[in-house]
Amino acid sequence: MDLKRLLPLRKKDPRAALKAVLADFDLPSFPAQVMNVLKRLRDPEASMAEVAREVEKDPGMVLKVLRTVNSAAFGLTKEVSNLSHAVSLLGRGRLESLLLPLAVREALPAFQSRVLTADRFWFAAALRGEIARGLARLAQPAAQEEAYTAAFLQDLGIPALIRAKGAAYDEVLGEWLAGGGEADLAELEARRFQVDHATVGALMAEAWDLPGYLVANLQHHHGGEAGGADPAVRLAAVVRYRGPEAEREPFLAAAEAAGLPPATIEEIYDQAAGKAAEMARLFA
């Protein structure tokens, strides 16, 4: 299948495009109440009190927000038990960057792989997100939450491919991991299945009506076309599924090659790794 011909279908019917490349895969629905909260967050006329009231309509979401805010990743000195207080502390951007990954985690199909555990998947996702946020803080502070979300969710197409292709996808993933993640996973996938996780992830995000910046970053985080993924997201994409110690040197090398100060990127990595471990526990 020609991927170039597939992309224009996204705007017309991304679910049909997913069916075309993943056969019997049925994309789960995205949590409707999360979308209601996101609409409130993006409405400049809506107060944070109104946002909190929208969150309160879903008791499960309330628990997840409070649990995450009170985790070690946030480093608060005093426990927050009031949702309005938690929402106020987070602010619009940080709350969105928390809710979107949590909602995607809930919507993603459960997957079983002999080469990639859920723990490793979510740790790498959280590490990429924290690294991208740290990098964006240096150059584009206003975009750091978008960078976090895009990097965190960049591989959301992988669980769908595991679910749809089973053992055949495990073979491709195993080959990639055996090589230390140095090969381009998207190229290996396209060679075997005529589609890659970047395209699948973008189609999923399009079908769920997620923000446009997420669709673009999902599609282009492996390079893609001009004007593709955010630079912080692309640099964070060097994180594979090798574990915290094994990820350190490849990231530092890539960041130094991009001209970033060694001391700064070491600090970014160390802070990101600590926060990612806690976030991964919340997601796995």
Q: Pick the more confident residue, 21 or 24.
A: 21
- 121 contacts 241 by C-beta, under 8 angstroms: yes
State how far the Cα of 224 lies from the Cα of 130, in Å rounded to an integer: 23
- 144 contacts 136 by C-beta, under 8 angstroms: yes
Own/partner pairs, 171-179, CB within 8 angstroms, 24+ separation: 173/113, 173/115, 173/116, 174/114, 174/115, 177/115, 177/116, 177/240, 177/241
- 233 contacts 139 by C-beta, under 8 angstroms: no
Tens-digit pLDDT profile for residues 193-243? 999 999 999 999 999 999 988 998 998 887 644 445 688 988 999 999 988
- Boundaries of CATH 1.10.3210.10 in the chain? 111-283
- Candidate from 82-86, 134-138, 226-230 with smallest mean pLDDT: 226-230
Measured CA angle at 85 (ends 81, 87), to 5 deg: 110
Q: In this model, does residue 7 exceed pLDDT 70? A: no
Q: In this model, does residue 146 exceed pLDDT 50? A: yes
State how far the Cα of 13 lies from the Cα of 2, in Å rounded to an integer: 17
Give Cα 259 distance to the centre of its chain: 25
43's tokens? 């409405």
With bands split at pLDDT 50, 70 and 90, how would you rate the model's confidence at 122?
very high
- 109 contacts 27 by C-beta, under 8 angstroms: no
Most confident of the ranges 6-10, 14-18, 158-162: 158-162
* CA distances in angstroms from 198 to 10, 57, 73, 221, 269, listed in the order given: 13, 33, 28, 7, 24
User: What's residue 77's pLDDT?
Assistant: 76
What percent of the chain is predicted at pLDDT more than 70? 93
Q: In this model, does residue 41 exceed pLDDT 80? A: yes
Torsion on CA atoms 256, 252, 219, 142, rounded to nearest 10: -80
Q: What is the mean pLDDT of residues 116-142?
A: 93
Decide if domain 111-283 falls under CATH 3.40.50.1100: no
HSE-CB of 283 using CA atoms within 13 angstroms: 30
